[in-house]
A and B are shown apart, each in its own frame.
Chain A
Amino acid sequence: MLNTKLSNNAGIKGFVFTLFSLLFITVSHSATAPLVCKDISQLKIIGELEYVSVMPENLRQKARIDTGAQTSSIGIVDSIFFERDGKKWVQFNVKDHIKNRIIKFERPLKRIVKIKRHQAEATERPVVELKIKLGQMELVREFSLADRSQFKYPILIGRNVLNNKFLVNVGQKFSSSQIKEYEQ
C-alpha cells in the first residue's frame, strides 16, 4: 500500500525492510517492557521540581517534590478562620510568584496539624483539601498552610500526593509541563 508508486523491485525491498523494522521493534519492546513500561503506565515519573496548578482558581506554581514530607504544603501570605453554615472555614491568600499577584482562597478547615521543628518551637498549621493538577492528573489531597517565604518554591508535594500515583526521578525537572505542552 505504501509502495504503490514505486517499481516492483523497490516495492519488495521496501516491504522486506518494513517487515524487518517491525520485527526489530517488537523484539526490543518485549525486552524492555517488563522492566519499565509496566511502571510507566501505572505510575507517572516526575522530576524533583514540577509545575502544580491549584484548581479551580488555576494558580500555577513551581513545586518541590519531597519524598521526605508526609503531607504536602502550600505557602500562604496570611490566613483567617471564619464560620460558614455552622462549619469552620479558612480564608487564605497565596502569592502567585509567576504572575505576581495575590489570590484569595476559601476552603473548609479539615484539621490542625502540629509540626515538630528542629531548633525551634512546635508550630500549628491549618490543613485544607485542595484540588491540584500535576501534569495531566487531577487529585484532591490535604495541604497544610505554611509560611514558605524562606523557601524558593511555594508548593511542597509530599507523600500524600505521590502515593500510588507518581515515581520521582531527581535527574529531571518540569517534565510534566513539557509533556503537556507537547500534546497541546
Chain B
Amino acid sequence: MPKSLRFYFAICVMLFVTASCSINASKQTVGETARILVSETRNSYLARIDTGARVTSIHATNIRVNDGLAEKKDNVGKQISFMTENESQQQSEVTTTIVEVAKIRNAQGVEYRYVVDLNLLWTDSNKTIRVNLRDRSAMTYKLLIGRNWLADDFIVDVNKSEGVIE
C-alpha cells in the first residue's frame, strides 16, 4: 500500500509540474523593444521594455496644469495637458487627469513627476496603466515600459525585438 501511495504522490507531483508549465504558457513573451499604441495619442511608440523600471514613463513636454499650484502634490485630480511625440517625431497633445505624483529616485537624486492613466495596446493586450510624464528628448526611446505593464502578463525575451533605434 505505501508503495502505491508513493506512486500516486509521484503522479500528483507530475501533474503539478504540468500545471505550472501551463501557467507560464499563458504568459506571452515580449522582446527588448515593442511597438505599442498609446490610445490617447493616436500614435504608436517603439518602446524599450525595461524590467529595471518600476513604472512606465512617456516623453512629455510643455506640461500645463489647469489651475495649477506650485507644489506638484497639490495638483492631483486636476486636468493636465502635455505634448508628446514618438521616435518618428509624430506629435500629439493629450489632456487628462493627474492621478498621482511619483517620487522617482535615480543616481542624480530625487525628482517628482506627474502620473496619468494611459491606455496601451499591443497585439491582443489592452491595458490602462499608470504612466509618469518626463521630458525624454535626450533619450532614444520615447516610451519606457516598466514592470507595472509587464506584471502578471508578460515574460521578457531580450533576443526578440520589434525594431531598434540606432
User: Which residues of A have CB within 8 Å of B32?
Assistant: 67, 159
A167 in contact with B107 (CB, 8 Å) = no
Query: B22, A2: Cβ atoms under 8 Å?
Result: no
Which of A48, A118, A169, A171 lies in contact with B139, CB distance below 8 A? A118
Are the C-beta atoms of A167 and B11 separated by less than 8 Å?
A: no
- Name A117's contact: one of B4, B25, B108, B156 (CB within 8 Å): B108
Kindly identify which residue among A3, A151, A167 contacts B156, using a CB–CB cutoff of 8 Å.
A167
Q: Give A45 to B106 CA distance when docked, in angstroms.
A: 27
A65 shortest CB reach to chain B, Å: 6
Interface size counted on chain A using CB atoms at 8 A: 44
Of A37, A67, A118, A168, which one neighbours B21 at CB under 8 angstroms? A37
Among B79-87, B94-102, B125-133, B147-155, the one that faces the other chain is B147-155
Whether B18 contacts A65 by the Cβ 8 Å rule is no
Would A66 and B21 be within 8 Å (CB), given that A5-B1, A163-B158 are in contact? Answer: no
A48, B54: Cα distance in complex, Å: 10
Chain A residues with CB under 8 Å of B3's CB are 2
How large, as a class, is the contact surface on chain B? 35 or more
Query: In the complex, are the beta carbons of B52 and A164 less than 8 A apart?
Result: no
Give per-residue flags for A150-164: 1 if the beta carbon is below 8 A from chain B beta carbons, else 0. 110000100100111
Are B108 and A167 touching (Cβ within 8 A)?
Answer: no
Interface 9-residue window, one of A21-29, A92-100, A132-140:
A21-29
Assess whether B51 is in contact with A67, with CB atoms less than 8 Å apart: yes
Residues of A within 8 A of B139 (CB): 118
Given contacts A2-B7, A168-B155, contact A40 B51 (CB under 8 A): no
**Chain A interface (Cβ < 8 Å from any Cβ of B):** 2-3, 5-6, 14, 18, 21, 24-25, 28-29, 31-33, 35-37, 39-40, 43, 45, 48, 64-69, 117-120, 150-151, 156, 159, 162-164, 167-171
Could you jot down 12 A-B contacts, CB within 8 Å?
Answer: A35-B25, A36-B25, A40-B21, A40-B24, A64-B52, A67-B32, A68-B51, A68-B53, A118-B139, A120-B108, A156-B52, A169-B155
